[in-house]
Amino acid sequence: MTEYSDEAVAAVREALKRTTALVTAKQLCRHCGGRMLPGIATDQTYVGGTPDFPGDAHASTFSAGGPGKVIECRKCENCGWSVT
Ligand SMILES: [Zn+2]
């Protein structure tokens, strides 16, 4: 059976504590400290349509289109604060 020195055990405990603190900091809301839930946000792109009538100088119809963008984000379950 392997014996670990107190120092080795303490070092591992310290490293674990630091890792946990890092993960926790990432998952907590910066505003209220609530839990951050993983999610995605869509960033809709808009494209201008073609002129409705011949002779129109500008496009009067705008519709949601294009590829759009899906962004990974985290959203606070408490206050709704989201980070990307
Ligand atoms: Zn929050």
| Cα–ligand 1 centroid distance for 31 (angstroms) | 5
Q: Judge whether 48 lies within some domain.
A: yes
Of the candidates 48, 75, 68, 67, which has an alpha carbon nearest to the alpha carbon of residue 59? Answer: 48
This model's pTM is above 0.85: no
Is the model's pLDDT at 66 over the cut of 90? no
Q: Judge whether 1 lies within some domain.
A: no
What are 3-54's pLDDT values in tens digits?
A: 889 999 999 899 888 776 655 556 788 899 998 888 766 666 666 665 566 6
| Cα–ligand 1 centroid distance for 37 (angstroms) | 10
| Cα–ligand 1 centroid distance for 35 (angstroms) | 7
- DSSP annotation string for 21-69: HHHHHHHB-TTT--BEEEEEEEE--EEE---SSTT-SS---EEE-S--E
| Cα–ligand 1 centroid distance for 82 (angstroms) | 8
Distance CA 81, CA 41 (A): 12
Output the pLDDT for position 56: 58
Tell me the residue range of the domain where 26 lies.
6-83
Q: Name the DSSP letter for residue 6.
A: H
Number of domain units in the chain: 1
